[in-house]
Amino acid sequence: MSSSENTIEYNRKEIPPIFGKFGLGLFGIGLVLSVLAYLSEPTRSAYNNVILLEFLSSVGLGSLFLVALEYIVGSVWSTPFRRVFEILSSVLLILPLIALPVYLHSHNIFHWTHAEVVAVDEILKQKSPYLNMTFFTIRIIAYFAIWIIFHLLMTKNSKVQDTTKDPKLTKLNTKLSAIFLPLFVLTLTFSSIDWMMSLEAHWFSTIFGVYYFSGTFLAALAAGTFLIIWLNEKGLLVKGIRKDHYYSLGALLFGFINFWGYIAFSQYLLIWYANIPEETYWFLQRWEGSWMYFSIFFIIVHFVVPYFALLSQPSKMDPKRLKFMSIWIIFVHILDLYWIVMPSFNPDGFIFGWIEIGFILLGLGVLIVVFNYSAKKVNLVAIGDPRLKRGIDFRL
Amino acid sequence: MEEKILFGYSGLFDTPDEIIEAAKKTADSKYVTYDVHTPYPVHGMDSAMKLKPSRLPYVALVVGISAMLGMLGFMYWITTTDYPVIVGGKPFFSFPAWIPVLFEVTVLSASIATVLAMIIVYFKFPNISHPLHDTDFMRAVTADKYGISIEIKDDENEEEVKAFLESIGAYNVSAIYWNNEEATFKNTVLQPKFLTLLLILIITVSGATYFTLNKLMFMVPFNWMREQDKNIPQEQSTFFNDEFAMRNPVAGTISRGNMPYKYIGQPDIAGAELLNPLPVTKKNLELGKIKYDIYCSPCHGYFAEGDSRLNGQFPNPPSLHSVKVRDWSDGRIFSVLTEGQNVMASYANQLDRNERWAVVLYIRALQRSLNAKESDL
């Protein structure tokens, strides 16, 4: 390109302190509320903690997946802001801390941990080779280990590349991604089964992992999109990120809103058609009492509203709309997890109180604080990436 | 050979960067009827050419939504009004089952409409020729070159266009002429060629459809769905020794939902021992009324007074308001419905057990309407 002689204009600047302060505020309120919650209603708090855990692993793991996806397909357009996703995925490092309270309360929320229940329940007896405390512990340790190892390796390579500008590191990360992606599929699927599907140990849905993946992708992409646009507007990213990049992010968001709808409906349709009591009761639970209104509301806010908000071409380029929809999608993903988890805690009807708010605030706070903290130590742009220049020059 | 009519000028470029620059310059010039040709989609071309967003998405939106709504109405009419069939125990109006159909219809019609709109409105189908076809310029830009072609309007100067193309860095600037045939082409769908093609298409498609559905399906090996290893009623069986395809139930078993009636020929014992299992609910009474009106009223009359239109043409059916019938127990009436009495035949084949009990309930209600108890007041 004619402009290719230009050097990449990137001046490292600190993220405005208001960002970190805001995050600390959310984190502080959330932490106080959730500690109080654990003191007053431990079971309900443990359920909320599952939502928190799955939300944070959505964002962290989804970001790492996006990074790996970029390497494996050799995509160019996303290189100018790949680092944002790398930083976002550092939330994986503190996931074991978040998981610890759930693990300690697993007897309260996981039906299958009760030996006397399993003894008289034929279905649980058959599932016990998988659903038992020993194997469960081994599995979750394996998940965290795999995620953290790959996060550390890939971000380290990318960081080293900032100074060495060594194209071999891109090759190396591509290979790492090729190893990571199959592991990602397995760990994501089984971790969603372990943390969420096993809350209703009788129920099963073979598409559940894919369903959780669609939300994971959306949450990570939405968090990234918001941060990319916000940081770019503050001038913290490399010069030259423009509406062509925004459009690609918006189109991916739109595409995965549809993907989510497609998967969510597929899960429903097959269970509805087959009409087997073991499977249908999960949906019936969500269609009884006030849960019914919540489910309808949930379909509208998770599918209908984002679908029409992002349908037209200009709306996918409009930074204001994209920022708003990113926040929206982050919240509806929390709602999605809430819809999966909470009916198991309270089948009688919809509940929402200060405990839920506390855990949501804690989740957002953790996300911002961890992002702010990790962003201090690295460049916000992968300036050593050999594809960066072409990425900035990306046009539709 | 007569003089050819000039279409315009074309020029070639070597790299995508050059063509982007050239497209920008052409877009800023006074020439409006120009086009850029590249062997593959070049990123950034739309904004370089200052193209307005295409209007085709609106075609997709409008056609997609109307096809979806049309299909929704159509399926609603079929499944609830025109030919209601229970499938898999689902209600007639089972929306989840329609969503895949709606989705497919929306996508299919929207994409077909978009393609049709594109080739008819923009490419002026059935016109399939263009002066640029079959030129060296087209050969170059479909292989490895990038090019711009400018169509010359009546008020534009040929030499100026040529000079302009050279000024923006094009090489091989050459004139493009209309074929005589193309220049005099009449854009109408009523050409014999097109109509013949359409006719052949219609005959082929309908013939193939007829052949597939009416002939092919009965030929080996496509008849595998028709020829199945099962027996239909009254058929001979090659599997069982007695060659009966229809089997009796295994001794000591009853079919699902079947409740054997053990008081055959013993109406009084039935009357003493049988109790009506149905509670008196609106639903049961309504079921009883429907069945009574269908099966009982032709003889006994709508109000059980034995005054139907058959009165006088037939041994007169008795009123059910007589003291005798009123004093019968529910089980005694049930035994009459099940086994028949005098000229009345058994209704066990028409009414299942629950329906017979519901009819008994309804008869009780009819009796109470003429002979109310004091507690009813």
Query: CA Rg, chain B, in Å?
Result: 41
CA A279 to chain centre: 26
CB contact under 8 A, A396 and B97: no
Distance from CA of B96 to the nearest CA of A (A): 6
Report the chain B residue with the minimal C-alpha distance to residue A308: B61
Lateral strand order in the sheet of B171-177: B34-37, B146-151, B6-13, B171-177
Q: Is the pLDDT at B44 greater than 90, yes or no?
A: no
Structural contact between residues A365 and A26, judged by C-beta atoms closer than 8 angstroms: yes
C-alpha span between B72 and B88 (Å, rounded)? 20
Q: How far is B338 from chain A (nearest CA, A)?
A: 35
Task: Tell the residue number behind the tokens 């443990």, with chain if given.
Answer: A46
> Could you give the C-alpha distances from B221 to A87, B214, B215, B224, B228, in angstroms and in order?
61, 14, 12, 6, 12
Q: Are A35 and A138 in contact (CB under 8 A)?
A: no
What is the pLDDT at residue B177?
86
Residues of A in contact with B21 (CB under 8 A): 2
Task: Identify whether the C-beta of residue A268 lies closer than 8 Å to the C-beta of residue A295.
Answer: no
CB A1 to CB B43 under 8 A? no
Size of chain B, expressed as the number of residues it contains = 377
Residue B120 clears pLDDT 60, i.e. is over it: yes
Q: Which residues of A touch B43 (CB under 8 A)?
A: 394-396
Predicted local confidence at residue B325, as pLDDT? 83
- d(CA A2, nearest CA chain B) in Å: 7
pLDDT tens per residue, range B276-306: 888 888 888 898 998 998 888 888 888 888 8
Average pLDDT of span B179-187: 65
**C-beta of residue A211 within 8 angstroms of C-beta of residue A340:** no
User: Do residue A396 and residue B57 have CB atoms under 8 angstroms apart?
Assistant: no
Q: Mark yes or no for CB contact A396/B17 under 8 Å.
A: no
Chain A residues touching residue B96 (CB < 8 angstroms): 265, 268-269, 272-273
- Predicted pLDDT at A269: 94
Inter-chain residue contact A396 with B44, CB threshold 8 Å: yes
B46 at A interface, C-beta within 8 A: yes
For B183, other C-beta atoms within 10 Å of its C-beta total 12
In chain B, % of residues over pLDDT 90? 25
- Contact list in A for residue B88 (CB cut-off 8 A) is 273, 275
Contact B34, B161 (CB under 8 A): no
| Rounded-to-integer distance, Cα B58 and Cα B67, Å | 14
Per-residue tens of pLDDT for chain A, all 396 residues: 334 445 677 888 888 999 999 999 999 999 999 999 999 999 999 999 999 999 999 999 999 999 999 999 999 999 999 999 999 999 999 999 999 999 999 998 998 999 898 999 999 999 999 999 999 999 999 999 999 999 999 999 999 998 888 889 999 999 999 999 999 999 999 999 999 999 999 999 999 999 999 999 999 999 999 999 999 999 888 888 888 899 999 999 999 999 999 999 999 999 999 889 889 999 999 998 899 999 999 999 999 999 999 998 889 999 999 999 999 999 999 999 999 999 999 888 888 999 999 999 999 999 999 999 999 988 899 888 889 988 888 887
> Which chain A residue is nearest to residue B97, measuring alpha carbons?
A269
Whether residues A2 and B89 touch (CB distance < 8 A) is answered with no
Q: Which residues of B touch A268 (CB under 8 A)?
A: 96
| CA–CA dist A172, A76 (Å, integer) | 17
pTM: 0.74
Give the span between the Cα atoms of B15 and B12, in whole angstroms: 10
Q: Which of B21, B43, B46, B65 to mutate to test the interface with A (most CBs of A within 10 A)?
A: B43
Band (B66; pLDDT cuts 50, 70, 90): very high
Chain A residues in contact with chain B using a Cβ-Cβ cutoff of 8 Å: 1-2, 244, 265, 268-269, 272-273, 275, 312-314, 394-396
Give Cβ neighbours of residue A340 (< 8 Å, ≥ 6 apart).
A196
**Secondary structure element (H or E) that encloses residue A27, with its range:** helix A17-40
Contact assignment for B17 to A313 by CB distance below 8 Å: no
For residue B182, give both structure tokens.
């193309």
> Which residue is closest to B58 within chain A, CA to CA?
A312
What pLDDT score does A3 carry? 42
DSSP for residue B189? T
Cβ contacts of B100 on chain A, cutoff 8 Å: 269
Cα dist from A173 to A82, A158, A179, A278, whole Å:
13, 8, 10, 44
Q: Is the Cβ–Cβ distance between A162 and A83 less than 8 Å?
A: no
Alpha helical stretches, state H, chain B: 16-28, 45-48, 56-77, 95-117, 136-141, 158-167, 180-183, 192-214, 267-273, 282-291, 297-300, 323-327, 330-339, 353-370
Residues of B in contact with A395 (CB under 8 A): 43-44, 47
Closest by Cβ to A396, choosing from B43, B88, B100 = B43
In chain A, the residue whose alpha carbon lies closest to the alpha carbon of B87 is A273
Tell me if B132 sits within 8 A of B176, measured CB to CB.
yes
Spatial separation of the C-alpha atoms in residues A224 and A61, rounded to whole Å: 12
Name A123's Cβ contacts closer than 8 Å, sequence gap at least 6: A201, A202, A278
At B73-106, the pLDDT tens digits run 999 999 999 998 888 888 899 999 999 999 999 9
| Residue type present at position A164 | T
Q: Does B53 touch chain A (CB under 8 A)?
A: yes
Lowest-confidence region among A160-174, A236-250, B309-323, B335-349: B309-323
A-B CB pairs within 8 A amount to 29
B184 C-beta neighbours (distance < 10 Å), count: 9
Among A130, A180, A127, smallest CA distance to A152 is for A180
Locate tokens 């100018």: which residue?
A80
Helix residue spans in B238-348 (DSSP H): 267-273, 282-291, 297-300, 323-327, 330-339
Pairing of strands B34-37, B6-13: unpaired
Tokens of A119: 């003894």
Residue B236 DSSP SS3 = strand
Hey, is B133 helix, strand or coil?
Answer: coil
Please report, for residues A212, A311, B37, B89, the alpha-carbon distance to residue B53 in angstroms, rounded to integers and kept in the order given: 36, 14, 18, 49
Maximum Cα interatomic distance, chain A, rounded to a whole number of Å: 75
Does residue B126 have a cis peptide bond before it, meaning omega lies within 30 degrees of 0? yes
What pLDDT was estimated at residue A2? 39
Of the pLDDT bands very low, low, confident and very high (cuts 50, 70, 90), residue B182 is low
Residue in B17, B47, B88 closest to A2 by CB:
B17
Which chain B residues touch A2 with a CB distance below 8 Å?
17, 21
Residue B251 to residue A24: CA distance in whole angstroms: 78
In the prediction, which pLDDT does B122 show?
84
**Which ranges of B9-121 would DSSP assign to H, the alpha helix?**
16-28, 45-48, 56-77, 95-117
Bond before B249 cis per omega within 30 degrees: no
Contact of B148 with B165, CB cutoff 8 Å: yes
CB distance A395–B47 less than 8 Å? yes
Q: How confident is the model at residue B313 (pLDDT cuts 50, 70, 90)?
A: confident
3-state secondary structure of A312: coil
Instruction: Give the Cβ contact number of residue B241 at 10 Å.
Output: 6
Output the average pLDDT for chain B.
86
Q: Is B99 on the interface with A (CB under 8 A)?
A: yes
In 3D, which of A208, A210, A215 has the Cα closest to residue A194?
A208
Instruction: Give tens-digit pLDDT for B240-282.
Output: 888 888 888 888 888 887 778 888 888 888 778 888 888 888 8
- Establish if B316 touches chain A: CB-CB under 8 angstroms: no
The phi, psi pair for B172, rounded to 5°, reads: 55, 35
Pairing of strands B171-177, B34-37: unpaired
B48: pLDDT strictly greater than 90: no
| CA dihedral over A316, A320, A323, A324, signed as positive or negative | negative
Phi, psi of B151 (to 5 degrees): -85, 135
Radius of gyration of chain A measured on its C-alpha atoms: 21
